[in-house]
Amino acid sequence: LKHKRQQSSIDQVIPPLAARPSQAEFAAMSLRQLAAGLFLLSAAWAVQPDAKAALQTGADAASSGGSTARHREAQRLTRQRIKHKWNGDVNVDTKVGVQMNIGNSSSGDSESGGDGGTCQMMGEHLKSPEEITDFPCFPEGTKSLLAKHLSRGVWETMKDEVDMYGFSFKQAIFSGAKFTNSGIGVYAGGHMGYYHFMPLMGKIIQTYHGHGPTDKHITNMNPADLRCPFFDADESRMVNSVRIRVARNLANLPLGTVASREQRQKVQELVTRALGKFGGDLKGTFYPLPGMTDNDRQKLIDDHFLFKGGDKYLEAAGLERDWPESRGIFHNDDKTFLVWVNEEDHLRIISM
């Protein structure tokens, strides 16, 4: 679906070839615009006391009247627990999840795992995370990273774990357990969930991104450092448009998988207030999904900007609860800069 959405952008009206910038210039312009948008979002939030407080306090503290100190202590304890698990203080064996050539079990009853223990066949018969009661096994041919890295040792260690936002390990794996054709198959409830469920998350991240638990993420948003050589003439003729997209989430607020109505609304309030401060070529309009007029909806569809609900993988992960509340789309007047609010991540920032 993502591939189709990206391809559909090519169908947009584009200027004559002679009027277009080179691909190098276009990519540099898009990155500059993206960097400017990210900087302005950061600046806009920084000057708002209520926004700053929301980012500092966190969802648990906000809902219960707790303190920032309590939130930080929870983070510290989670990191400490995961450090012990990652360093081997807890025995996590490396035997990978069993794949069995018996098809999906309609009942979900436990079967022999082939390693001396029982396992439960995963598949679309599952209705909720609580129905996963035994070590998951997957149909033959399952290629998800969940199936690859969910060992019996990881399962026994993590099966009853719950992160600081109340998001359980079974919730984290449910989408990939139900839909075994998933590519990855796991979701987190918040930033600290990646630490809390590190015995599984760490292996998946290392396989998918090539980053280990001690690696540092380096960010450079300075477009002057961008190396973007020109395409050959024949390659250049095939490129109609360029789209650069990043996903970002607000610090100390839970992700959409576990966010409450109030927390999701808070994300929209913070983001739209920041977007309202944009000027120049970033100045634009926010279109909330609830109550959207037919005319606005059709324009967004025609421009290939509109995102829709009904994704079964996101539904299984809890990401489409209360749809379409507190969700919407911002684009600038030139329709070259977009922000999706509360789609899958808090923010999808797009420059075209």
CA-to-CA dists, residue 179 to 66, 144, 168, 206, 237, angstroms:
38, 10, 18, 22, 40
User: What is the full DSSP assignment across 11-70?
Assistant: GS----GGGSPPHHHHHHHHHHHHHHHHHHHHHHHHT-HHHHHHHHH-HHHHHHT--HHH
Give 152-189 pLDDT, tens digit per residue. 999 999 999 999 999 999 999 999 999 999 999 999 99
Structural contact between residues 217 and 179, judged by C-beta atoms closer than 8 angstroms: no
The fraction of the chain above a pLDDT of 70, given in percent, is 67
Structural contact between residues 147 and 185, judged by C-beta atoms closer than 8 angstroms: yes
Give 234-255 pLDDT, tens digit per residue. 988 898 888 899 999 998 899 9
The answer to pTM > 0.75 is: no
Name residues whose C-beta falls within 8 Å of residue 134's C-beta, 6 or more positions apart in sequence. Answer: 110, 118, 119, 120
- pLDDT attached to residue 216: 86
Give 25-76 pLDDT, tens digit per residue. 555 556 556 665 665 555 444 434 333 333 333 333 333 334 456 556 656 6
Instruction: Please name the amino acid found at residue 42.
Output: S
- pLDDT attached to residue 110: 54
Query: Strand, coil or helix: what is 91?
Result: coil
CA-to-CA dists, residue 151 to 143, 148, 154, 288, angstroms:
14, 8, 5, 43
